[in-house]
Amino acid sequence: MKSILIRNLPEQTLSKLKNLAEYHHRSLQGELHYLLEEASERATGNGQRLLKINTVNTGNRSSWSREEIYGDEAR
């Protein structure tokens, strides 16, 4: 596997990346792998962005209809 060396990275940027990695429970290297993968997917996706949806189980039950979710766009 190839390696990348980034020179003269501002300390503030490195600090922010470390905080982001900690927030996502990743190592700095793991966070950088993730960010580079995401950037490469966007670059090769013909300008189209994929929609990522994160859901959380709050314990509440809901029965949304297709119209409530999509509105007039669902038709």
- Residue 64: its pLDDT value, please? 75
Give me the sign of the Cα torsion angle 61, 23, 16, 39: negative
User: What number of CA atoms fall less than 13 Å from residue 40's CA on the CB side?
Assistant: 6
65: left (phi over 0), alpha (psi -120 to 50) or beta: beta
Token pair recorded at residue 67: 């119209």
The tens digit of pLDDT for each residue in 48-72 reads 666 677 777 777 777 777 777 787 7
